[in-house]
Amino acid sequence: MNRDAFDPDEIRAALDGLAAIDLARLRRAGRIYALGLACGADDLIGEAVAATLSGARTCPRTMALVPFLIGAMRSIAWAARGSAGRVRATVSLDATGTDGRLLVVPVDPDSDAETRLLAAEDMSERIAALEALFADDEQALLMLMCDLEFYSKEEIMTMNDLDDKAYATIRRRMRRAINGRYPAGWTA
């Protein structure tokens, strides 16, 4: 057993002990990373938790659980964008056995045509709403367009002649605008 990383029982105990503010941070990060994916914030959180509990991802003892899970969600979202933008949900956080452990719930990986059409419609609405939100902020709108094309940070900085500080400032401005307009996340 790796003593440099938390074991599943310690992870479960840490999850049980999360404060409301920690859960809010996870949901906010999940909403941000789920943007553009065919999944929601809770799906990303569930995948990150499941991967941690299964041992596929190990949380080092030197790191707090919430930042670790946020990093795991970011990694999962990045990988999903590389594989047709889908996160394959295999675990339901509501499905637990008598011992309290998560049960693996198989999910059909292929959605039907109606689900794909609704997801595409929802994505179009989200993009239009974000374009309207940043209509008066050319830099943020440009960065949004780059994000939708999956450009890397370095590519965005080079194309827009930005240094690290300017890039971070625009990102912060975008995050604040989105969180201000949609404090509870996107609701269709």
Q: Is residue 2 part of a domain?
A: no
DSSP 70-121: HHHHHHHHHHHHHTTT-----EEEEEE-TTSPEEE----SS--HHHHHHHHH
CA distance 154 to 104: 38
pTM of the entire structure?
Answer: 0.50
In terms of Cβ atoms closer than 10 Å to its own Cβ (0-12, 13-18, 19+), residue 129 is middle
Looking at 64, 79, 104, the residue that finishes a domain is 104
Do residue 92 and residue 73 come from a single domain? yes
Q: Which domain does 137 fall in, by range?
A: 113-181
Query: Which residue has 């840490």 as its token pair?
Result: 14
Please check whether residues 81 and 127 belong to one and the same domain. no
Q: What is the DSSP letter of 59?
A: -
What string of pLDDT tens digits covers the 188 residues of the chain?
567 889 888 999 999 999 999 998 898 888 888 887 778 888 899 999 999 988 889 999 999 999 999 999 988 888 887 655 444 555 444 555 566 655 555 455 556 677 777 777 878 888 888 889 999 999 998 888 888 777 788 888 888 889 999 999 999 999 999 999 988 877 75
Verify that 98 and 125 share a domain, yes or no. no
Gap between the Cα atoms of 33 and 35, Å rounded: 5
Q: Given 104, 126, 147, which residue is the final one in a domain? A: 104
- Whether residues 48 and 131 share a domain: the answer is no
Asked if 98 and 31 sit in the same domain, the reply is yes
Contacting residues for 68 by C-beta, under 8 A, at least 6 apart: 52, 59, 60
Whether residues 13 and 94 share a domain: the answer is yes
Which pLDDT does position 2 carry in this prediction? Answer: 65
